[in-house]
Chain A
Amino acid sequence: MMAETGNNRVQGWRPAATLLAVAVAYYVGAQLGFILRFPPTTPSVLWPPNSILTATLLLTPVRRWWLYLLAALPAHLAAELPVLPPLLVFGLFATNCAEALVAAAGLRWLSDAPTRFDTLPRMAVFVLVGALAAPFVSSFPDAALVTAIQGESYSFVWRTRFFSNVLASLTIVPAVVMAVRNGLPNLRAAAPHRHLEAGLLASGLFLASMGQFGNPSEFGLGLPAELSAPVAVLLPFLLWSAVRFGPGGLSVCLVATALLAVVAGTGESGIFVTQRAAEAVLSLQILLSTMAIPLMCLAAVIEERRQASEALATRLRLEEMLSRLSAAFVHLPSTEMHRALDEWLGRLGEHMGLDCVVIAEYSRTAADELVVRAWAPSEPVKPQTVACREVRWADDQLRQRQTIAVRDVGDLPPHAHAERLMFRLYGIRSCIVVPLEAGERVLGGLAVATTSADRALREPFSGWLRLVAEVFASALERTAMEDALRASEGMKSAILSSLSNGVAVLDSDGTIVAVSQSWTIEGATVGSNYVTAWRETARAGASHGSDAAAGIAAVLARERDSFAFEYTARDPTAERWYSMVVVPLNQPDGGAVISHTDVTERKRAEVNAQRSRQELAHFTRVSTMGALAASLAHELNQPLAAILSNAQAARRFLDAARPDLGEIRSILSDIVEDDKRAGKVIEGLRELLRKGETEVELLDLNALIRDVVKLLGSDALIRRVRMHLDVAAEPLIVAGDRIQLQQVVLNLLVNAMDAMADCPTEERVVSVQTELCDGQTARVSVQDAGPGILTGQHDLLFEPFYTTKPTGMGMGLSISRSIMEAHGGLIWATNNPARGATFSFAMPIRNGTAT
């Protein structure tokens, strides 16, 4: 008993102390037994040593039994050698040991819990095997020995020994076993009224016993005959103990009663005991034994019921706790979560009588850390961070979703050093850890621990703990999700507020649900319908309003993948340009995101760039014209010369006597034609020199090229260059600005002629070809027979200020390229196989007819 309740420091001498305790108990029991016997007969009327041995064997592992039996031997010898012959002493020790062995082995074999007497089957097995069969069997050799050596009556010895051992077994074994198993702390922990009740019971029982057995005058008169009536006085007290104090209390009372009765029965007569007194004691033994058996069974039944109802009550308490816990956590906002956790750890600990409750959560920021919140009585919960590697074994178990149940520090595996150290440090006796699981993930663990052996955590408790862990786990999971959601909401609003262009989010109906800080569109606030807003601007006269509304509606209806739109709005001081982009919102409910950007600066820059480009183009056109001035003069002088000569001829005809009016008429019509011809030349010239805005129209490239070739006809003539024109059969309709495209062709033709200035006259041929490629592209090539492009200069040709001409500015091809790019076309140059170069441009064909 001492060893069982001793703490860990005394473990070293625990077995030795137990052995000593057994020896001492055996000796004391034997001395007591000697006192309670009727010499010269050998058997005692109450023989405790055998029961002490039985209790010892029940409480100790089988492999150590020999040790305890051996420890009892010196006590046996010391007690009996002075009284009995040595041979008998050794023989009796053998029969005593045999009885204890039969009882302990039988109980271990037949009972599911040999050291417990709290159910009827366990009690019945104990009574039948431990209290009846073992003394019954062992009494035969015992009586035979005594008869043989001492010469006493076999039947008397057997009978005395059997009943004395039955009585001792019935009373002492349960008392000793339960005292050792449950220990004294139970008594200390009991409430004061229990102590009072126990005191009352003890004094009542003592008085009743004394009244029954204590009066010597009455004792002699006839216990055997009138036994039933007086014993009835004891029964209420024994029942009381059975009902209120269980098998343990009852057995203590029975021991006390038996001792008192036997002492009373034997003490009076002293050593001059009569046969009649011995008979009376025997009757007492039988009486107490027969009374003890049903009482013990009754106590067991009551204990069984009590335990069942206690288990039920515990379960109810656990269930109630669980439901209150669930209720507390189910609607808890995530910000309150950890405070509530701390509070409930304490409540769990207090209600369940635990010494420590710990929740360990894997850190969300560092995967190899645990945030540990531990509760202990009267200690506030303080979160601490523990590295997983410090508790590797427990960490592994948790991650494998294992429940850890440690009944004793010895249950820990050898490699769980850190955990064992913690057990020692905090004085933990038993501990259960269940994983906190959320779906596939383990969030951490919930641990409960006790520091005393008598409150060791039982297996059913871990099932309940898993339910608690489920509540905590789902609460933690929800907290994590809510935190993540809040973080994502925060991120979203941060993004919205930091956008420089105005952004609005629409639902599927077009209603604005969120806007960025920079969203300043008048009349379009959160809650209003943006499509309707545009329709209203359309109704108010803004021409682009309906286009915008239709575009947004198409994106909302998932008919378009996106919609981009530019429009002008007049603010009080100046016209401003806005670009609006609408993209679908990628979520099941639909919707769209509108992005508004003020593109006024970009627009202005574009307009400026456009203007500079046009001015530059005009400038190059003018300078090209300057170069062509002589040939243009030629072109103009021809009709002028014809007109002058015709007019002067006409005057001469009129001076004649009979003017030839027919000839004069045809002269006049020639003059009209030539005048028109001159007008056309001037018109074409003016057209080319015009400094106009870009005007995109559908035009036929073939016709355009013919015009330019015609315009350059005089130039070619003067330069002695032959022009070969090979146009495609079908019209090549393109969309473009006539002047700009003419400029490109003019530029290529003038370049081609320039390139051949140093060539012999007969070689000066410019071939102009137009063709339709792959049905979608018009291609124009201008081939010359000049020196071609110098190696390595292909890339530079179209760069600004690149020129090979002494008076060139180097802008012609650069402008041609930008014109082509603006028309969605390309311009490039290659060298011909024989000699010279070919400059080509290509642009997309359009459907329709030239305007």
Chain B
Amino acid sequence: MPSLICVIDDDRSVLRALRRLLWAEAFAVEAFGSAEEFLASEHRANARCLVLDVNLTGRSGLELQEQLLLTGAAPPIVFITAYDDRVARERACRAGAVDYLRKPFDDTALLDAINRAIRGS
């Protein structure tokens, strides 16, 4: 059974592209436009890895990470962002993020990070 990867990004186009990429690598993929959508879905418990955009409309990626850590059910998180913010990166890494990728990123970098996440967990 393929590992379930949940991708959360408010950019529809990015979301679609990532879903295709992961799908081509035979991952099970669920895509969400916002943190709220993810939290509301049944897949939050089954996710082996989260590909999470930092700058989300509504609850941000970092806030979601914080919340998941608080509930104790936090899957490994690969952060992606179109805006390189040192403060955000350090905060994400301190909180245990697997990786922090700057858009646009190479497919191998993303897949590496996801594989590390799945192996590590």
Q: Chain A residues in contact with chain B, CB under 8 A?
A: 630-631, 633-646, 648-650, 652-653, 656, 663, 667, 670, 673-674, 677, 714, 717-718, 720
Q: How far is the CB of A276 from chain B (nearest CB, A)?
A: 176
- Any chain A CB within 8 A of the CB of B25? yes
**B11 CB contacts on chain A under 8 angstroms:** 638, 641-642
Comparing B30-38, B68-76, B89-97, B99-107, the segment that makes contact with chain A is B99-107
Contacts A639-B13, A648-B106, A718-B55; A663 near B20 (Cβ below 8 A): yes
**A645 CB contacts on chain B under 8 angstroms:** 14, 17-18, 20-21, 104-105, 107, 110
Q: Considering residues B21, B55, B105, B110, which has the most beta carbons from chain A within 10 angstroms of its beta carbon?
A: B21
**A677 CB contacts on chain B under 8 angstroms:** 13
Is there an interface contact between B18 and A633, defined as CB atoms closer than 8 Å?
Answer: no
Q: Considering residues A635, A637, A670, A673, which has the most beta carbons from chain B within 10 angstroms of its beta carbon?
A: A637
Is there an interface contact between A642 and B17, defined as CB atoms closer than 8 Å?
Answer: yes
Contacts A642-B11, A645-B20; A637 near B102 (Cβ below 8 A): yes
Pick the residue among B21, B83, B103 that contacts A631 (CB under 8 A): B83
Pick the residue among B24, B55, B85, B103 that contacts A640 (CB under 8 A): B103
CA distance A653 to B20 in the complex (A): 9
Tell me the count of chain B residues lying within 8 A, CB to CB, of chain A.
27
Query: What 9 pairs between A and B have smallest CB-CB spacing?
Result: A641-B103, A637-B82, A645-B17, A648-B107, A652-B24, A634-B83, A641-B104, A649-B20, A642-B13
Q: How far is the CB of B38 from chain A (nearest CB, A)?
A: 18
Pick the residue among B16, B85, B103 that contacts A638 (CB under 8 A): B103
Is there an interface contact between B85 and A718, defined as CB atoms closer than 8 Å?
Answer: yes
Closest partner residue, chain B, to A630 (CB atom): B83
Q: How far is the CB of A793 from chain B (nearest CB, A)?
A: 31
Pick the residue among A633, A643, A649 that contacts B82 (CB under 8 A): A633
Is there an interface contact between B55 and A670, defined as CB atoms closer than 8 Å?
Answer: no
CA distance A638 to B102 in the complex (A): 10
Is there an interface contact between B13 and A670, defined as CB atoms closer than 8 Å?
Answer: yes
Q: What are some 25 contacts across the A-B interface (CB < 8 A)?
A: A633-B83, A634-B82, A636-B82, A640-B103, A640-B104, A641-B14, A641-B17, A641-B82, A641-B103, A642-B11, A642-B14, A643-B17, A648-B106, A648-B107, A649-B17, A649-B20, A649-B24, A652-B25, A653-B24, A670-B17, A714-B55, A714-B82, A714-B83, A717-B55, A717-B57
**A638 CB contacts on chain B under 8 angstroms:** 11, 13-14, 82, 103
**B13 CB contacts on chain A under 8 angstroms:** 638-639, 642, 670, 673-674, 677
CA distance A663 to B19 in the complex (A): 12
CA distance A355 to B106 in the complex (A): 133
Q: How far is the CB of B19 from chain A (nearest CB, A)?
A: 9
Q: How far is the CB of A309 from chain B (nearest CB, A)?
A: 131
CA distance A105 to B114 in the complex (A): 164
CA distance A205 to B11 in the complex (A): 160
**A653 CB contacts on chain B under 8 angstroms:** 20, 24
Is there an interface contact between B24 and A720, defined as CB atoms closer than 8 Å?
Answer: no
Is there an interface contact between A644 and B106, defined as CB atoms closer than 8 Å?
Answer: yes
**A718 CB contacts on chain B under 8 angstroms:** 55, 83, 85
Contacts A649-B24, A652-B21, A670-B16; A637 near B103 (Cβ below 8 A): yes
CA distance A718 to B16 in the complex (A): 22
**A720 CB contacts on chain B under 8 angstroms:** 60
Is there an interface contact between B55 and A634, defined as CB atoms closer than 8 Å?
Answer: yes
Is there an interface contact between A667 and B20, defined as CB atoms closer than 8 Å?
Answer: yes
**B107 CB contacts on chain A under 8 angstroms:** 644-645, 648-649, 652
CA distance A663 to B25 in the complex (A): 15
Pick the residue among A635, A644, A663, A667 that contacts B105 (CB under 8 A): A644
Q: How far is the CB of A652 from chain B (nearest CB, A)?
A: 4
In the complex, besides A637-B102, A645-B21, A649-B23, 15 extra interface pairs with C-beta distance below 8 angstroms are: A633-B84, A634-B55, A637-B104, A638-B82, A641-B103, A643-B104, A644-B105, A645-B105, A646-B21, A648-B106, A649-B21, A649-B107, A670-B17, A717-B55, A718-B85
Closest partner residue, chain A, to B13 (CB atom): A642
Pick the residue among A636, A639, A640, A648 that contacts B21 (CB under 8 A): A648
CA distance A640 to B102 in the complex (A): 11
CA distance A630 to B88 in the complex (A): 14
Closest partner residue, chain A, to B25 (CB atom): A652
**B14 CB contacts on chain A under 8 angstroms:** 638, 641-642, 645
Q: How far is the CB of A162 from chain B (nearest CB, A)?
A: 159
**A649 CB contacts on chain B under 8 angstroms:** 17, 20-21, 23-24, 107
CA distance A663 to B23 in the complex (A): 11
CA distance A667 to B16 in the complex (A): 9
Q: How far is the CB of B89 from chain A (nearest CB, A)?
A: 13
**B16 CB contacts on chain A under 8 angstroms:** 642, 646, 670
Interface members, chain B 1-24 (any A CB < 8 Å): 11, 13-14, 16-18, 20-21, 23-24
Q: Considering residues B16, B85, B102, which has the most beta carbons from chain A within 10 angstroms of its beta carbon?
A: B16
CA distance A602 to B58 in the complex (A): 55
CA distance A691 to B73 in the complex (A): 54
Q: How far is the CB of B57 from chain A (nearest CB, A)?
A: 7
Q: Considering residues B16, B57, B104, which has the most beta carbons from chain A within 10 angstroms of its beta carbon?
A: B104
**A641 CB contacts on chain B under 8 angstroms:** 11, 14, 17, 80, 82, 103-105
Closest partner residue, chain B, to A667 (CB atom): B20
**B103 CB contacts on chain A under 8 angstroms:** 637-638, 640-641
Q: Considering residues A649, A674, A718, which has the most beta carbons from chain B within 10 angstroms of its beta carbon?
A: A649
Q: How far is the CB of B14 from chain A (nearest CB, A)?
A: 4
CA distance A633 to B84 in the complex (A): 9
**A714 CB contacts on chain B under 8 angstroms:** 55, 82-83
CA distance A637 to B13 in the complex (A): 12
CA distance A122 to B14 in the complex (A): 146
**B25 CB contacts on chain A under 8 angstroms:** 652
Closest partner residue, chain B, to A654 (CB atom): B24
Closest partner residue, chain B, to A653 (CB atom): B24
CA distance A382 to B97 in the complex (A): 122
